[in-house]
């Protein structure tokens, strides 16, 4: 990314805090000024003491005035001490803003995004990449202002020295450029050493990982000794590498100290001489001495900006990767509002997940209102995909999904999703109470909430759970079974009285009797709801008004159970496989 | 709101200290013993650097009081040279000290890592099942590294600060006792105050970490649930939920930060107060008892250096806390007892002329709960090819685990010609078995090294013979450096089929009598499949094999098939017999392989 774009990136988060920016800048200068003022006070003290000593009149030493000056400095120091706190506070403000912003972007993404990025990676980008040192939030404020602080300290320091005595200032700061040159020379060697150290470390890690995940092989092949020897080899090599890096680090970091000490030697020699000649006071000499000491840290710090900026910029790129990842499924909240779903139709719908084989291929179907339709077919025949397309989570590459005759995308998305209820195969619940999971942010009357849970056959479970409907789910809350999760997800889906229910194999965990009760209850409470359900159970399938048979992404046939059993091979195969599965269950018990 | 991540944090951070600090130090000191010479050298060099740092201002004082006051030009030059020498010596000693202590620290941690690695190999497989590779890597790598930093950086740094502090105070006392006393009078309550303050802060920082973990777990849940959030229109609310958690952490962290920097503020201000005290008392001394200007300068200079060690120390405290937690974990690993030693009197060699391997009424459960194997009994005659079949979780993998002696049966025994295999040394037993797993598990190294899994007691001839046995010569020939070719990550420079062949070759590199094979389930193209079948045939030749079978050809060509269901042997026989019987085997078979595929 070009520097100007980076500045733009950083500025976009700073803009709401413009005034803080100015305040911090001023505060920085004040803080540096206070730091630089201290040695000047020393000078005054020493000179006044010397003068008073020389004048045979101790009373001329104005202790009170000195004390007042020091007290003022003290107060200044106290206030300036909070300067890093203000920087840190702004860091946190930025962290909060950046995280919320990127999260908001991520929430809009579709399945391609979630397939491309691993969850752990996304989380790292939303947490450590922003909050860690020296990453984005730190850099955008502290990183930049540290450089300003060090830079201003350097300028004030050298400025003060020049004001005191420009000749001595020139002489004593002469070693600095020379040292900077040596530092620059060593820098490439240092970064090479770092890289080698990284490589060495990852070599060790590779061996450890392979040995631990392949422990069965190691043990089976009696290779423990050999592996241990290999690790030892790697570690011995690493000692050499790390030692080299350590030496370079010390050398590089001592350049600043060398420069300042050499300056101090010059101050002692030349400055001392100047004092003898009356061209300089002892107080000023001491001030020079202290200033040269004070230069060390800022000198070390300014190059830091470049190192930390590299890290921060990499992280910024990673955030933009998330933000800019193209979204294909856009849920627009403009367009006409849907009042009632009369019909959903698929017109030659083709969809594939990753430009490979299509999961749905030229599917043409009509889902009339109020009907119950079962989707059957072998594994990976496109049934779940069909439900996801109907739910608006996937957009077909070819063909159209029409709702009431108009493309799905043309409607106000909110009105569509309010009218459908979707229960995926793997139910996703959140670490909240059961009640909150079911209402899920919508306003649902309490007794209807309980009714929904009752319909999904959760009554007995709720009695057994300690908190009933208020039981909090999650790892430290209560762990519930997969079947219970699914039933809560069903309750969630019906809580807003949907017109269309999309159920992906949601009764697998119920035994035949409970499943019976479930369907009966559901159809009696929501008699007009259109249902698209996927199931493998014959008893469920035969409840449907129509059966859609899928194979390899195509809609092969539609009809009732008897019709299909008579004429459809795919359907018959499906029945046979299911029969064998239940045979196996039977034979095994 | 529930904070269910607290427990994870607690155990991860090892807040519950197993060993007391004293006992832990007691265990760490022996690690230093072989390095006492280096340690002494390091301490000496450290003392030199501290002396140099204390000495510099003394030269300054001399310059002011004697050379300048006495108008001694030559003296000025001498003093400047002396100062230069002192700082050169100090820096030289500093450089050497870093090298000495770093090398010492590196050697200590290398030995520690080696010890941990070797010890981990002696632990039972159950330990590895409970501790994923990532966690073990963290123990051997990061935790050990943190210990090293504790030794070579923190301990040295603390020692240095302490010596500097003491040295400075001693010199100050000699220079002028009254001024020193007054500075000390301020310093002591300050140190105590800092200590308590920091303890309080530590608690707050723990809270902050927990709030951060809450954000992390929230994000994990909600990012995974994005489709649901979209379908239920929960997007804006999710954003607000994040904002709440963000702000929770923000509030606590801001408070902690102002609190902490408040402390530094107080410290910096106290430095000014110390100067005020020095000037007050010192000026009286100067005008009264003849304290020199140089001495005054000396005090001002030393005061600047006094406060720095205090700041350094408090910054190190939290690191020390974490390092001690790491030490705890390192010692926890080293203290884990090896669970499967050889039995006393175990025989060194397994006879070559055995005829029968048997499972006699073997039962096993992994964690004292449900039985993975329940009264399993069967016999394998030498040279037979046995296939294990059954649903997943039925016990097939457990049989291979017991055969390899990764675990021991809880009831019953496994025998070789009637002799319990526990009577043989584990190593001797395992040398008799060749293992091929579903996942190939390659190691960083060359092809040749991988063929022997990095074991170093296998001759190159044996490796070459193994390659010939499975007819994998063309794989070696294709590679630019033959046996020496380094394998890329995960074996990427080999094709799937080639990797399989390498794993087959590896299995027979010790020419084992028994072959245990857990077939891969991934389907490959017909050409590769043929290659693999041919190699398998060569593998099986002349050996007794027990195969967890997933391939049609393997099952059908086995001499005998054992059907396991829920840990029990339910059917036994060859393919035709079992298929005719129309029981579980047939149901499984038909489910997995569409009828009509039997070629």
DSSP run (H or E) holding A322: helix A296-324
3-state secondary structure B25-48: HHHHHHHHHHHHHHHHHHHHHHHH
Same domain, B261 and B358: no
A474: left (phi over 0), alpha (psi -120 to 50) or beta: left
Task: Name the burial class of residue A209, with classes exposed (0-12), middle (13-18) and buried (19+) by CB atoms within 10 angstroms of its CB.
Answer: middle
Cα nearest neighbour of B582 on chain A: A587
CATH of residue B364: 3.40.50.300
- Cα dihedral value B486, B492, B493, B497, nearest 10: 120
* Of B283, B317, B335, the domain-final residue: B335
Q: Do A254 and B443 touch (CB under 8 A)?
A: no
| Residue with token string 């310093």 | B187
3-state SS, B539-585, equals HHCCCEEEEECCCHHHHHCCCEEEEEECCEEEEEECHHHHHHHCCHH
Output the CA torsion sign for B468, B473, B479, B482.
positive
Which residue is associated with the tokens 């309490």? A446
Report the relative pairing of strands A554-559 and B356-364 from DSSP bridges: unpaired
- B199 and B182 assigned to the same domain: yes
Domain contains B455: no
Radius of gyration for the alpha carbons in chain B, expressed in angstroms and rounded: 36
B16 lies in some domain = no
Are residues B202 and B130 located together in one domain of the fold? yes
Q: State the Cα–Cα distance between residues B557 and B385, nearest whole angstrom.
A: 8
Last residue of a domain, one of B319, B335, B351: B335
State the CB neighbour count (10 A cutoff) for residue B298. Answer: 23
Q: Are residues B154 and B252 in the same domain?
A: yes
How is residue B452 annotated by DSSP? T
User: What number of other Cβ atoms are within 10 A of residue B362's Cβ?
Assistant: 24
Instruction: Supply the DSSP symbol for B67.
Output: I
Query: Looking at chain B from residue 360 to 419, which residues have their Cβ under 8 Å from any Cβ of chain A?
Result: 391, 404, 406
CB contact under 8 A, B296 and A231: no
Contacts (Cβ under 8 Å, ≥6 apart) of B586 = B578, B579
Query: Which chain B residues contact residue A218 at CB under 8 A?
Result: 121, 453
- Residue in B with minimal Cα distance to A479: B4
Q: Are residue B250 and residue B329 in the same domain, yes or no?
A: yes
Q: Do B102 and A89 touch (CB under 8 A)?
A: no
A62: left (phi over 0), alpha (psi -120 to 50) or beta: beta
- Residue B573's φ and ψ, nearest 5 degrees, are 155, -175
| Cβ-contact B326, B309 below 8 angstroms | no
Quote the minimal CA–CA distance from B219 to chain A in Å.
6
Q: What is the distance between the alpha carbons of residues B535 and B554, in angstroms, rounded to a whole number?
A: 12
User: Does some domain include residue B1?
Assistant: no
Query: Do B221 and A430 make contact, defined as CB atoms within 8 angstroms?
Result: yes
Best interface-test mutation with B: which of A59, A222, A293, A332 has the largest number of B CBs within 10 A? A222
Last residue of a domain, one of B335, B370, B391: B335
Q: Is B350 in a helix, a strand, or coil?
A: coil
How far is it, in rounded angstroms, from Cα B215 to Cα B211?
A: 6
**Chain B contact set for A203 (CB, 8 A):** 444
Chain B 216-275, CB below 8 Å of chain A: which residues?
A: 216-235, 237-239, 242-243, 246-247, 250, 253-254, 257-258, 260-262, 264-269, 271-273, 275
- Give contacts of B114 with chain A, Cβ < 8 Å: 228, 231-232, 235
d(CA A308, CA B446): 38
As a whole number of angstroms, the distance between CA A355 and CA A358 comes to: 7
Same domain, B287 and B185: yes
Q: Do residue B160 and residue B102 come from a single domain? A: yes
Do B314 and B422 belong to one domain? no
pLDDT per position in chain B (599 positions), as tens?
122 223 333 444 444 455 667 777 788 888 888 888 999 999 999 999 999 999 999 999 999 888 888 888 888 999 999 999 999 999 999 999 999 999 999 999 999 999 999 999 989 888 888 888 888 888 888 888 888 888 777 888 888 888 988 898 899 888 888 888 888 887 777 777 877 887 788 788 888 888 888 898 899 889 989 999 999 989 999 999 999 999 999 999 999 989 888 888 888 888 888 888 888 888 777 777 777 888 888 988 888 877 777 766 766 766 777 787 788 888 888 888 887 568 888 888 888 899 999 999 999 988 777 888 999 999 999 999 999 988 877 788 899 999 999 988 999 999 999 999 999 998 899 999 999 998 888 888 889 999 998 888 889 999 999 999 888 888 888 888 888 888 876 666 788 788 888 999 999 999 999 999 988 766 667 777 788 888 888 888 889 999 998 777 888 889 999 999 888 898 899 888 988 888 888 888 877 776 434 33
Contact, B497 vs B381, CB < 8 A?
no
Write the CA distances from A313 to A202, A308, B261, integer angstroms.
Answer: 23, 8, 28
The pLDDT value recorded for residue B360 is 94
Residue A165 class from Cβ within 10 Å (0-12 exposed, 13-18 middle, 19+ buried)? buried
Half-sphere exposure of B131 (CA within 13 A, CB side): 21
Closest residue of chain B to A583, computed from CA coordinates: B587
* Chain A CA closest to residue B131: A212
| C-beta contacts of A537-545 below 8 A and 24+ residues apart | A537/A507, A537/A512, A537/A578, A538/A575, A538/A578, A539/A512, A539/A515, A540/A374, A540/A507, A540/A515, A541/A374, A541/A376, A543/A372, A543/A374, A543/A519, A544/A372, A544/A373, A544/A374, A545/A371, A545/A372, A545/A373
Spatial contact of A444 and A496, defined as CB atoms under 8 Å apart: yes
Residue B528 located in a structural domain? no
Q: Is residue B28 part of a domain?
A: yes
Helix (H) or strand (E) holding A363, with range, is strand A360-368
Phi then psi dihedrals of residue B474, to 5 deg: -65, -25
Cα separation, A559 vs B417, in Å, equals: 64
Q: Are residues B330 and B286 in the same domain?
A: yes
Which ipTM did the prediction report?
A: 0.86
In a domain, B240, yes or no: yes
What pTM value is reported for the model? 0.80
| Number of other residues whose CB lies within 10 A of the CB of residue A199 | 12
CATH number of residue B242's parent domain: 1.20.1560.10
Tokens matching residue A352: 């594939």
DSSP tag of B383: T
Question: Three-state DSSP class for A117?
Answer: coil
- Name the residue among B114, B261, B296 with its Cβ closest to that of A81: B261
Domains present along chain A, CATH in parentheses? 1-324 (1.20.1560.10), 344-428+475-588 (3.40.50.300)
CB atoms within 10 A of CB A524: 9
CA distance B438 to chain A (A): 11
Cβ contact, residue pair A206, B444, below 8 Å? yes
Residues B37 and B81 in one domain: yes
Asked if the structure places residue B466 within a domain, the reply is no
The reply to whether residue B223 touches residue A111, judged by beta carbons under 8 angstroms, is no
Inter-chain touch A282–B293, beta carbons under 8 Å: yes
- Write out the residue range of the structural domain in which residue B124 sits: 21-335
B195 reaches A (C-beta below 8 A): no
Binary contact (B227, A289; C-beta < 8 A): no
CB contact under 8 A, A223 and B225: no
B362 & B327 share domain: no
B248 & B209 share domain: yes
Q: What is the per-residue pLDDT for A427? A: 81
- Count the helices and strands in chain A (H runs, E runs): 26, 10
Residue B494 burial class via C-beta count within 10 angstroms: exposed 0-12, middle 13-18, buried 19 and up: buried
Instruction: Using DSSP bridges, classify how beta strands B433-436 and B514-518 pair: parallel, antiparallel or unpaired.
Output: parallel
Residues with pLDDT less than 70, chain A: 1, 56-61, 475-477, 585-589
Closest by Cα among B488, B141, B134, B452 to A238? B141
With respect to residue B462, please indicate whether it lies within any of the assigned structural domains: no
Shortest Cα distance, chain A CAs vs residue B231, angstroms: 6
Give the tokens for residue A379.
Answer: 């594994």
End-to-end CA separation in angstroms for chain B? 62
DSSP 8-state assignment for residue A380: T
3-class state of residue A317 by DSSP = helix
Contact criterion met (CB < 8 Å) for A92 and B230: no
Number of domains in chain B: 2
- State whether A67 and B280 contact (CB < 8 Å): yes
B489 contacts B516 by C-beta, under 8 angstroms: no
């Amino acid at each position: 990314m070009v520097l100007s774009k980076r500045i733009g990136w950083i500025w976009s988060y700073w803009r709401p805090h413009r005034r803080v920016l100015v305040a911090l800048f001023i505060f920085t200068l004040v803080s540096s000024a206070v730091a630089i003022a201290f040695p000047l006070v020393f000078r005054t003290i020493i000179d006044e003491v010397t003068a008073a000593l020389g004048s045979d009149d101790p009373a001329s030493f104005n202790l009170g005035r000195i004390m007042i000056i020091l007290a003022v400095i003290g107060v200044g120091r106290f206030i300036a001490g909070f300067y890093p706190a203000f920087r840190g506070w702004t860091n946190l403000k930025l962290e909060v803003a950046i995280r919320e912003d990127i999260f908001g972007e991520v929430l809009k993404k579709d399945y391609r995004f979630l397939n491309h990025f691993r969850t752990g990676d996304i989380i790292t980008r939303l947490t450590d990449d922003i909050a860690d040192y020296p990453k984005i939030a730190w850099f955008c404020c502290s990183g930049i202002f540290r450089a300003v602080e060090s830079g201003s300290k350097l300028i004030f320091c050298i400025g003060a020295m020049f004001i005191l005595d420009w000749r001595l200032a020139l002489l004593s700061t002469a070693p600095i450029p020379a040292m900077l040159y040596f530092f620059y020379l060593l820098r490439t060697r240092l970064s090479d050493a770092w890289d080698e150290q990284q490589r060495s470390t990852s070599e060790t890690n590779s061996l450890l990982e392979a040995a631990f995940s392949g422990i069965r092989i190691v043990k089976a092949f009696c290779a423990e000794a050999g592996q241990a020897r290999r690790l030892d080899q790697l570690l011995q090599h690493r000692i050499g590498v790390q030692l080299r890096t350590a030496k370079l680090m010390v050398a590089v970091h001592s350049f600043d100290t060398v420069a300042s000490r050499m300056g101090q030697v010059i101050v002692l020699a030349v400055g001392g001489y100047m004092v003898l000649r009356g061209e300089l006071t002892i107080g000023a000499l001491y001030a020079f001495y202290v200033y040269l000491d004070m230069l060390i840290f800022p000198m070390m710090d300014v190059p830091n900006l470049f190192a930390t900026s590299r890290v921060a910029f990499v992280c910024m790129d990673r955030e933009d990767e998330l933000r800019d990842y193209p979204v294909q499924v856009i849920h627009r909240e403009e367009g006409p509002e849907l009042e009632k779903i009369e019909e959903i139709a698929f017109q030659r719908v083709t969809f594939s997940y990753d430009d490979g084989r299509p999961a749905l291929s030229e599917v043409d179907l009509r889902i009339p209102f109020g009907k119950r339709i079962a989707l059957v077919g072998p594994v990976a025949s496109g049934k779940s995909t069909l439900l996801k397309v109907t739910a608006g989570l996937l957009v077909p590459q070819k063909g159209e999904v029409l709702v009431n005759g108009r493309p799905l995308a043309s409607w106000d998305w909110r009105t569509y999703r309010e009218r459908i209820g979707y229960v995926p195969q793997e139910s996703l619940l959140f670490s909240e109470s059961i009640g909150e999971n079911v209402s899920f942010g919508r306003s649902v009357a309490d007794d209807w909430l309980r009714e929904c849970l009752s319909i999904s056959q959760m009554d007995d479970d709720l009695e057994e759970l300690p908190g009933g409907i208020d039981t909090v789910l999650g790892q430290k809350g209560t762990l519930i079974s997969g079947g219970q999760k699914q039933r809560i997800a069903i309750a969630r889906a019906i809580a807003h009285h949907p017109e269309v229910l999309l159920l992906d194999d949601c009764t697998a965990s119920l035994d035949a009797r409970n499943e019976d009760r479930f369907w009966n209850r559901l159809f009696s409470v929501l008699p007009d709801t259109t249902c698209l359900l996927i199931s493998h159970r014959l008893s469920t399938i035969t409840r449907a008004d129509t059966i859609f048979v899928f194979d390899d992404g195509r809609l092969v046939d539609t009809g009732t159970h008897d019709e299909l059993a008579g004429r459809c091979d795919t359907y018959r195969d499906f029945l046979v496989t299911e029969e064998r599965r239940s045979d196996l269950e039977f034979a095994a018990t | 709101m529930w904070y269910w991540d607290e427990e994870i944090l607690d155990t991860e951070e090892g807040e519950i200290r197993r060993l007391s600090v004293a006992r832990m130090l007691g265990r760490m000191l022996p690690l230093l013993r072989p390095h006492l010479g280096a340690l002494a050298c390091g301490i000496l060099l450290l003392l030199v650097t501290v002396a140099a740092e204390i000495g510099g201002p003394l030269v300054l004082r001399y310059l002011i009081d004697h050379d300048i006051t006495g108008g001694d030009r030559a003296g000025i030059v001498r003093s400047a040279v002396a100062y230069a020498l002192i700082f050169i010596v100090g820096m030289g000693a500093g450089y050497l000290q870093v090298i000495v202590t770093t090398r010492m620290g590196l050697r200590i941690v290398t030995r520690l890592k080696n010890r941990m690695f070797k010890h981990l190999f002696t632990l039972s497989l159950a330990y590895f099942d409970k501790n994923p590779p990532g966690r073990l890597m963290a123990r051997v790598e990061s935790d050990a590294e943190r210990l090293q930093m504790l030794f070579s950086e923190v301990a040295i740094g603390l020692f240095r600060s302490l010596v500097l502090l003491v040295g400075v105070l001693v010199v100050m006392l000699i220079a002028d006792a009254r001024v020193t006393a007054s500075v000390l009078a301020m310093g002591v309550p300050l140190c105590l105050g800092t200590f308590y303050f920091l303890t309080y802060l530590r608690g707050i920082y723990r809270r902050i970490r927990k709030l951060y973990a809450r954000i992390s777990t929230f994000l994990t849940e909600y990012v995974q649930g994005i489709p649901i959030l979209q379908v239920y229109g929960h997007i804006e609310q999710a954003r607000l939920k994040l904002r709440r958690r963000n702000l929770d952490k923000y509030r606590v962290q801001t408070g902690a930060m102002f609190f902490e920097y408040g402390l530094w503020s107080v410290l910096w201000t106290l430095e000014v107060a110390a100067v005020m005290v020095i000037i007050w008392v010192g000026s009286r001394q100067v005008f009264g008892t003849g304290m020199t200007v140089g001495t005054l300068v000396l005090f001002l200079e030393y005061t600047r250096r006094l406060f720095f060690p205090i700041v350094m120390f408090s910054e190190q405290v939290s690191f020390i806390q974490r390092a001690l937690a790491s030490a705890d974990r390192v010692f926890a690993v080293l203290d884990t007892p090896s669970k499967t030693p050889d039995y006393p009197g175990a025989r060194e060699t397994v006879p070559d002329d055995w005829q029968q391997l048997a499972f006699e009424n073997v039962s096993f459960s992994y964690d004292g709960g449900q039985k993975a194997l329940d009264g399993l009994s069967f016999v394998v005659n030498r040279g037979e090819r046995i296939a294990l079949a059954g649903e997943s979780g039925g016990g097939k993998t457990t049989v291979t685990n017991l055969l390899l002696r990764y675990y021991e049966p809880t009831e019953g025994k496994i025998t070789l010609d009637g002799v319990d295999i526990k009577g043989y040394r584990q190593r001797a037993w395992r040398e008799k078995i060749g293992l091929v797993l579903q996942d190939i598990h390659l190691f960083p190294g060359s092809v040749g090294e991988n063929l022997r899994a990095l074991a170093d007691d296998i001759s190159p001839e044996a490796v070459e013979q193994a390659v010939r046995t499975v007819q994998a010569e063309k794989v070696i020939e294709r590679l630019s450096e033959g046996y020496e070719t380094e394998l890329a990550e995960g074996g990427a420079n080999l094709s799937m089929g080639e990797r399989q062949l390498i794993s087959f070759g590896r299995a027979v590199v010790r020419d084992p009598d028994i072959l245990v094979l857990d077939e891969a389930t991934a389907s490959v193209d017909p050409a590769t499949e043929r290659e693999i079948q041919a190699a398998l045939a060569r593998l099986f030749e002349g050996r007794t094999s027990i195969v967890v079978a997933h391939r049609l050809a393997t099952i059908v060509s086995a001499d005998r098939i054992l059907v396991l269901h829920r840990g029990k042997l339910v059917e036994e026989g060859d393919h035709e017999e079992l298929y005719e019987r129309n029981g579980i085997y047939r149901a499984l078979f038909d489910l997995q392989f569409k009828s009509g595929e039997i070629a």
